[in-house]
Amino acid sequence: MTAPTESKRQARRFGRVAEWAAAWHLRFRGYRIVARGFRSRQGEIDIVARRGRVLAFVEVKARRDLDTAAEALRARQTGRIARAAVAFVQAHPGLAALDQRFDVMLVRPWRLPVHVADAWRPEA
């Protein structure tokens, strides 16, 4: 196995910082972070947050500008996130009664994250 290149290390670092910034932004807006980096066979969820009766599954997209970040979320990925959300709720049955929502946090350097609530709805 070869070592990751410097650009890949920087990208991973940027992603970790973006997820940290997104989580703190959600906390300041009154959300409680339930989980970060949830992984299942179906997919991965960057952040699971709760505010009141809403359980938000949040995908963090970090790019150099907001348009590129918004375009980075593809239909195939939203499907994986939706399937991972089902696995998350099955693993945490106490949260099953909450309303579920799929959000996106768009992160760019040196700016506050942009929270897009109810960014998409899973295919039925």
Per-residue model confidence as pLDDT tens digits over 21-48 = 999 999 999 999 999 999 999 999 999 9
27 assigned to some structural domain: yes
Confidence at residue 123, expressed as pLDDT on a 0 to 100 scale: 80
1 pLDDT above the threshold of 70: no
Confidence at residue 13, expressed as pLDDT on a 0 to 100 scale: 93
d(CA 19, CA 97): 26
55 pLDDT above the threshold of 80: yes
1 assigned to some structural domain: no
67 assigned to some structural domain: yes
| CATH code of residue 29 | 3.40.1350.10
49 assigned to some structural domain: yes
Rounded mean pLDDT, 95-115: 97
84 assigned to some structural domain: yes
Domain housing 91:
6-120
Structural domain count, the chain: 1
For residue range 113-123, list pLDDT tens digits in order: 999 999 999 98
